[in-house]
Structure 1
């Protein structure tokens, strides 16, 4: 299966996981609502902006990595089944 990335919408929920960079985890420890702050609070200071954008980038990287892993698994499965 080929996925046209120009037409794919991926929604990733911001969450902290074991691979989240340490400094984002530290920011979260110091700010109890992060990353679940109310969406109405759009007044970010520099540190909050950096933490939010870095966490979004981290989630995006995880989505791309998961997609690539699935493609490799699909290709290996097809190869093993003799479909290639």
Structure 2
């Protein structure tokens, strides 16, 4: 299984990747200023699942998901995540 992880927090991406590496391949994408321009159709479609952070600079996860759907209607399953600290 190949997971595309889109999150602006490099430490979260590294932690997620190290925890999931025994089970699947994780492709983190975190050092991007404009996520939609950095993502090619091939990158998105090569994933079995996509995890997107809800709050990122420049674009939120829901808007990014909608843009994916504009580019390709049949995208892999998408989970939109967020981290909440109280």
**Structure-2-length-normalised TM-score:** 0.28
Where is the helix percentage greater, Structure 1 or Structure 2?
Answer: 1
Which structure's relative contact order is higher, taking Cα pairs within 8 Å and 6+ residues apart? 1
Higher alpha-carbon Rg: 1
What's the TM-score once normalised by structure 1's chain length? 0.28
